[in-house]
């Protein structure tokens, strides 16, 4: 399933604009539409370095070894770039020697946003491994599924999450090492290994890392994107995919950073979860590659969040709509709170203009406000509006080296100002879904275009606006909730014959799941009983608390649930 990201950017970036590194970037003067009705990027094609993601992130380490790479927003615990490099390398060497991780092996990361997240991730890459990220609030049922699908050889987590991991391994009937990151004085759980000991062992022989043989086309990151017609699918992203996306957003007109110099280092708010592709690429990997400081906020609390913005002199923020709403309305959010903020990137879902204006009024700053569009399958950035754009409803043209098509139901190209499904081709597009040839056949056209399932319209200048989505993923506070997963769980209840789930508007969540349930003949069950049955098996944001009992679920002749009919009849 396409995991869509709409984001908003506001910025004042003089240092990037003046950087000679980007002097050669130009915007095409001719039309971005070809005669065949393909939209070409107006920006110069990117050059993709022949590096692994690990080498890409560290390639300029000698320019800022003593700068802070990552720091905990609450405790101040953190690492310099030099420390992060050394610690991640020792961890990598121990992954190969003590846990026999080999090139292409998958290692799961189930952590909140802590300073060690990037060290763990880069260590896995240095060992030749593949990262699969897991939401740290997942239940054992959800975790075991991803561990099995990804064939993870080890998992890294926090001590307090170990009981969930052990239960998931029991359900999956597998046994893999559990590595824990200890961030306080509590003892490590029995049967686990400390990440801290693996990374801080100065006697580690790093020469074993010379055995690693990974190329730019090898898979390095395996996030799972939720589907509406089945279980989540593993999105295979290569080193080249993610590096290409980093280079695409280095364009000075699209850039979301300042150059790191002797007198300046960006302070980037890490509140969006690193296990999501948007935060992983645009926030973590990219910002570390340009020498920015990553401020990790593990647990969201409004007052802590707002104080951190001011205390850390945050100038770059990646957030979701609920945070924008909070920053525009919370009593503790003042002009001083946002004194140093230069850029705010709103991810996961669009915002109403009134919500944006309310927030901007709080900041009292003359800044740009932009939108962009991306997906898990595209690493994620596809399109972003240029600096100082005032077209708040639009996402902008495609980034460098990217082509788009707007097509009708027969996949025939449409022209300017015509609404259709958006198709993408570019170096950031995933290799494919892991072990899922049917999904790949549905996702790609015969000539290699990726089908997003999203409806869009583009004007004469190639400026894209997302109109709607063909697929029915529910977005709860920016998190993906696949209806099929909840429907499957509802049907597991002994009293349920059939079920359908749709997303309905919610004042604070954006959307929330609403279930329609058909009971078996002669069975009785309450809404509360069904809610408890489902909710104990899924993360809190997937909870179903709104259930309607109906006689039958409307379906097409092919058996597909007609969710629009449910909306028309009940919403």
- pLDDT-derived band at 18, boundaries 50, 70, 90: very low
Structural domains of the chain, count: 3
How far is the C-alpha of 257 from the C-alpha of 192, rounded, in Å? 39
Residue 493 contacts residue 530 (beta carbons within 8 Å): yes
SS3 state at 14:
helix
403, 438, 471: which is the final residue of a domain?
471
Distance of CA 517 to the CA centre of its chain: 31
Q: What are the structure tokens assigned to 364, written together?
A: 């009292």
Pick from 359, 349, 372: which is nearest to 325 by CA?
359
Q: In percent, how much of the chain has pLDDT > 90? A: 71
Name the residue with higher pLDDT: 169 or 571: 169
Is 233 a domain residue? no
Measured distance CA(372)–CA(9) in Å, rounded: 8
Instruction: Give pLDDT, residue 347.
Output: 66
Residue 64 lies in a domain: no
Residue after which a domain boundary falls, among 471, 505, 528: 471
Domain identity same for 198 and 116: yes
CATH code: domain of residue 404: 3.40.50.12780
Using the predicted structure, report yes or no on whether residue 472 has a pLDDT greater than 90: no
Per residue in 192-234, pLDDT (tens digit) is 999 999 999 999 999 999 999 999 999 999 999 864 345 689 9
Res 232: pLDDT = 84
Q: Does residue 377 have a pLDDT over 90?
A: yes
pLDDT digits (tens, 9 = 90+) for 255-296: 989 999 999 999 999 999 999 998 999 999 999 999 999 999
Count how many residues are written for the chain.
Answer: 571
pTM reported for the whole predicted model: 0.85
Beta bridge partners of residue 236, listed in sequence order: 432
- 143 in the same domain as 87: yes
| Distance, CA of 445 to CA of 458 (rounded, Å) | 21
Give yes or no for residue 31 having a pLDDT over 80.
Answer: no
The neighbouring-strand residues paired with 421 are 407, 455
Which position has the higher pLDDT, 343 or 136? Answer: 136
Q: For residue 348, what pLDDT is reported?
A: 61
Confidence of residue 343 (pLDDT cuts 50, 70, 90): confident
The CATH number assigned to the domain holding 497 equals 3.30.300.30
Query: Quick check: 470 pLDDT over 70?
Result: no
List pLDDT tens digits, range 148-179: 999 999 999 999 999 999 999 999 999 999 99
What is the pLDDT confidence band of residue 325, given thresholds at 50, 70 and 90?
A: confident
Range with top average pLDDT, 126-140, 182-196, 499-513: 126-140
Q: Is 425 helix (H, G, I), strand (E, B) or coil?
A: strand
Say yes or no: 42 and 124 in one domain: no
**pLDDT of 92-131, one tens digit each?**
999 999 999 999 999 999 999 999 999 999 999 999 999 9
Domain containing 557: what range? 474-570
Same domain, 485 and 447: no
pLDDT at residue 29 tops 60: no
Whole-angstrom distance, CA of residue 95 vs CA of residue 125: 10
Classify strands 267-270 and 4-9 as parallel, antiparallel or unpaired: unpaired
């Amino acid at each position: 399933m396409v995991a869509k990201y709409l984001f908003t950017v506001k910025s004042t970036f003089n240092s990037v604009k003046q950087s000679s590194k980007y002097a050669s970037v130009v915007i095409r003067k001719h039309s971005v539409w070809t005669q065949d009705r393909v939209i070409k990027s107006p920006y110069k094609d990117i050059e993709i370095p022949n590096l692994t993601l690990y080498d890409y992130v560290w390639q300029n380490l000698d320019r800022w070894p003593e700068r802070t790479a990552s720091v905990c927003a609450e405790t101040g615990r953190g690492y310099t770039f030099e420390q992060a490099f050394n610690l991640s390398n020792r961890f990598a060497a121990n992954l190969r020697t003590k846990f026999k991780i080999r090139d292409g092996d998958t290692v799961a990361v189930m952590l909140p946003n802590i300073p060690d997240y990037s060290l763990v991730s880069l260590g896995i890459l240095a060992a030749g491994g593949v990262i699969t990220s897991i939401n740290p609030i997942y239940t054992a049922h959800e975790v075991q599924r991803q561990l099995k699908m990804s064939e993870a050889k080890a998992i890294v987590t926090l001590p307090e999450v170990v009981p969930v991991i052990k239960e998931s391994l029991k359900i999956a009937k597998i046994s893999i090492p559990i590595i824990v990151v200890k961030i306080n004085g509590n003892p490590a759980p029995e049967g686990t290994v400390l990440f801290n000991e693996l990374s801080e062992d100065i006697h580690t022989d790093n020469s074993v890392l010379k055995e690693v043989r990974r190329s730019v086309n090898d898979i390095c990151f395996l996030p799972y994107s939720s589907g509406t017609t089945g279980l989540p699918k593993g999105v295979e992203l290569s080193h080249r995919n993610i590096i290409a996306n980093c280079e695409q957003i280095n364009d000075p007109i699209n850039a979301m950073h300042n150059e790191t110099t002797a007198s300046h280092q960006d302070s980037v708010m890490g509140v969006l979860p690193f296990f999501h592709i948007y935060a992983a690429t645009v926030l973590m990997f990219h910002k570390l590659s340009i020498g920015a400081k990553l401020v990790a906020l593990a647990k969201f609390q409004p007052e802590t969040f707002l104080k951190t913005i001011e205390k850390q002199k945050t100038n770059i923020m990646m957030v979701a709509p609920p945070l924008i709403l909070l920053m525009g309305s919370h009593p503790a959010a003042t002009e001083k709170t946002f004194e140093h903020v230069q850029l705010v990137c709103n991810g996961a879902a669009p915002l109403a203009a009134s919500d944006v204006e309310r927030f901007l009024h709080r900041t009292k700053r003359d800044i740009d406000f932009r939108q962009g569009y991306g997906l898990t399958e595209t690493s994620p950035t596809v399109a972003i509006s240029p600096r100082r754009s005032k077209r708040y409803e639009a996402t902008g043209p495609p980034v460098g080296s990217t082509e788009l098509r707007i097509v009708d139901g027969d996949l025939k190209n449409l022209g300017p100002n015509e609404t259709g499904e958006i198709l993408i081709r570019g170096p950031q597009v995933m290799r494919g879904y892991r072990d899922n040839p049917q999904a790949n056949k549905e996702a790609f056209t015969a000539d290699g275009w990726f089908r997003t399932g999203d409806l869009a319209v583009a004007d004469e200048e190639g400026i894209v606006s997302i109109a709607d989505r063909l697929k029915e993923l529910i977005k709860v506070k920016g998190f993906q909730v696949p209806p099929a997963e909840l429907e499957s769980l509802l049907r597991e209840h002994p009293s349920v014959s059939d079920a359908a789930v749709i997303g309905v508007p919610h004042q604070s969540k954006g959307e929330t799941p609403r279930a329609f349930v058909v009971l078996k003949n002669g069975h009785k069950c309450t809404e509360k009983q069904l809610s408890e049955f489902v909710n104990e098996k899924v993360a809190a944001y997937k909870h179903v608390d709104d259930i309607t009992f109906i006689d039958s679920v409307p379906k097409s002749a092919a058996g597909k649930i007609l969710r629009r009919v449910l909306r028309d009849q009940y919403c």
